[in-house]
Structure 1
Amino acid sequence: MELRHLRYFVTVVEEQSITKAAEKLCIAQPPLSRQIQKLEEELGVILFERGSRPIKMTEAGHFFYEHAVQILTHTAQATSMAQRINAVDKTVRIGYVSSLLYALLPQIIYLFRQRNPDMHVELIEYATCDQIEALKAGKIDLGFGRLRLMDSSIKGILLRKERLLLAIHKHHPFAEFIESGIYLSQILDESIFSYPKTPKPNFATAVHSIFTELGLVPKKMKEVREIHMALGLVSSGEGICLIPETARDIGMKNLSYIPILDFEAYSPISLSVRNMDQSSYIPKILDCIQDVFKNESIDFHTEVI
């Protein structure tokens, strides 16, 4: 059995017609029919109901179709990943979520560039959930994100649990908690801005999950486009919002920040790589992360997630 036979079969299924499939595959109809018949003979099963219009699969055909699609998808991903790994000696494409630009990511990338002048580094913004598919498709080689996502072909490395802060207007009544800190149970009646307004899961999802984990239900949660809008509204006295502690460096006026005392109130920062990728750039980027963390007096430990 060859991959082209699987492609022929899948195309016939998706087009529901031998004629249309032949046109799409740019081959004549009779040879395509013979290839499908040959595939059935090799498998020893009937894949299509005879005489049905449009074409319908048998029960065995449905089963074989699901696995044929997986085989073709995995083959395409493996090909793309192999090509990227082969080319990565010259270019490393790094996916990132925008909020990490306020954290230590710029220092890490700068150090990596200084130590590896022969490598071209390209930064590409991707939401954490999109980084998984981008890695599998070979569009990026590394992904820095803020969510724990599971995929058998991707390895996630937890780098840090960044504490969350509560951003308030400097004259908000909660200002009395700036030194002592505050629990999330104390803010449930407030207007809380979450962000970003992008496909889930995202940072807003993570914030909701923290409340849920603590058995808390905020009464007025409002989702806005991105962090600058959320902080701008807080600066206008419209409400409050939760941010990673490094985002306080955005430096918007009239804001104060309160430590959140709940242990669960953190944002995981992770590095995602292809599971079978043994490229030399991975230990090199980890060395840069370790050195930057050490300079900032941040504990460095890698935990596979």
Structure 2
Amino acid sequence: MELRHLRYFVAVVEEQSFTKAAEKLFIAQPPLSRQIQNLESELGIQLFERGSRPLKTTEAGQFFYQHAVKLLSNAEEIKTMTKRVGLMEKTVTMGFVGSLLYGLLPKIVYMFRQQQPHLKIELVEMSTKDQIQALKEGRIDVGFGRLRISDPAIRRVLLREEPLLLAIHSSHHLSTQAAGVYLSEVEDENLFLYPIHPKPNFSTQVRQIFSEHGLDPKNLKEVREIQLALGLVAAGEGACIVPESARTIQLPNLNYIPILDDFAKSPIFLAMRNMDESEDIRSLFDCIYQVYDLEGFLYDRAII
């Protein structure tokens, strides 16, 4: 069985006609019919209900169709990724979630540029979920995100766990608790979450933290982005849970208070293609850990 046989079969299923499928594939109908008959002989089953108009698959044929589509998709991904690896132009494209720009990502990228001047480095903002697909399609080389999204084609490395803070107005009754607060103390507050789209995202992560620890905040409102959420907090409209690095966003009457629960953390992941062990990726990891050392952050160094 070859990939072309799968393409022939998928075309017949989707066109529901040997004639239309042959036209789509730019081949004559008799050879196409013979290829499908040979495929059925190899499998030892009937894939189509004979005499049905329009053409319909058998139960086994439908099962085979679903897996054929998946195999063809995987073949295209492998083709694209292989071409990407073989490109002569040395470009490293990084996907990232926007909130990481307030943390150490700019320092990491700057150091990487200085240490690898021969590389062309491109940054593309995208959600963690979109980064996974972009890696598989070869559109990016690495992705920096916050969500635990698993895919067999992708390797994900936990860089560190970033503590969460509560952003509140300076007049808020919790602002006097400079040492910190527990999430149970903010369960009844008006809380802004961000972003709205796409899901899953940081707002999904915050909801899960509450839910997994038996907390059920009733007054949640999702807004477009972190700047809008903090602007509303500075206006006295409510509170917001943000990563520690967001404290670099300073607005009048905006206070940041530590959250004392050990579980109140947002992970930072670097994702890459499973088999990618290039020197450029190794150099990027070196820069990440150099910056962490300079900033005094604790981390478990991954073996790359």
How do residues 57-76 of structure 1 correspond to structure 2 at under 5 angstroms? 57-76=57-76
CA distance in 1, matches of 2:222, 2:75: 39
Structure 2 runs not aligned, ≥5 long: none
Q: Equivalent residue for 1:250? A: 249
CA contact (8 A) 1:158 1:302 kept: no
Q: Does 1:292 align with 2:291?
A: yes
CA contact (8 A) 2:154 2:271 kept: yes
Query: Alpha-carbon deviations, 1:257-286, whole Å to 9, x = none?
Result: 110011111110000011111211111110
In structure 2, the CA distance between the partners of 1:88 and 1:194, relative to structure 1 (3 Å rule), is farther
| AA in 1 matched with 2:79 | T
Query: Alpha-carbon deviations, 1:79-98, whole Å to 9, x = none?
Result: 11111122276111110000
CA distance in 2, matches of 1:15, 1:242: 51
CA distance in 2, matches of 1:220, 1:17: 55
Q: Does 1:157 align with 2:150?
A: no
In structure 2, the CA distance between the partners of 1:88 and 1:187, relative to structure 1 (3 Å rule), is farther
CA contact (8 A) 2:48 2:58 kept: yes
CA contact (8 A) 2:289 2:301 kept: no
CA contact (8 A) 2:90 2:120 kept: yes
Q: Does 1:172 align with 2:140?
A: no
Please give the secondary structure, in 2, of the residue aligned with 1:152: coil
Provide the TM-score with structure 1 as the length reference: 0.96
Structure 1 runs not aligned, ≥5 long: none
Q: Does 1:14 align with 2:14?
A: yes
| AA in 2 matched with 1:210 | I
CA distance in 2, matches of 1:104, 1:84: 28
Q: Equivalent residue for 2:105? A: 105
Please give the secondary structure, in 1, of the residue aligned with 2:161: strand
Q: Which runs of 4+ in 1 moved over 4 A?
A: none
CA distance in 2, matches of 1:120, 1:277: 18
Quote how far apart the aligned CAs of 1:48 are: 0.5
Q: Equivalent residue for 1:205? A: 204
Count how many residue pairs are aligned between Structure 1 and Structure 2: 303
CA contact (8 A) 1:112 1:284 kept: yes
Please give the secondary structure, in 2, of the residue aligned with 1:48: coil
How do residues 109-120 of structure 1 correspond to structure 2 at under 5 angstroms? 109-120=109-120
Quote how far apart the aligned CAs of 1:188 are: 1.2
| AA in 1 matched with 2:262 | F
CA contact (8 A) 1:192 1:221 kept: yes
Q: Compare 207-216 and 295-304 and name the one that shifted more.
A: 295-304
Query: Alpha-carbon deviations, 1:16-45, whole Å to 9, x = none?
Result: 222332232233333322221222223222
Query: Alpha-carbon deviations, 1:215-234, whole Å to 9, x = none?
Result: 00001000001101100110
Q: Equivalent residue for 2:24? A: 24
CA distance in 2, matches of 1:19, 1:197: 47
Q: Equivalent residue for 1:40? A: 40
Please give the secondary structure, in 2, of the residue aligned with 1:196: coil
Q: Equivalent residue for 2:259? A: 260
Q: Equivalent residue for 2:125? A: 125
Quote how far apart the aligned CAs of 1:303 are: 5.5
CA contact (8 A) 1:77 1:137 kept: yes
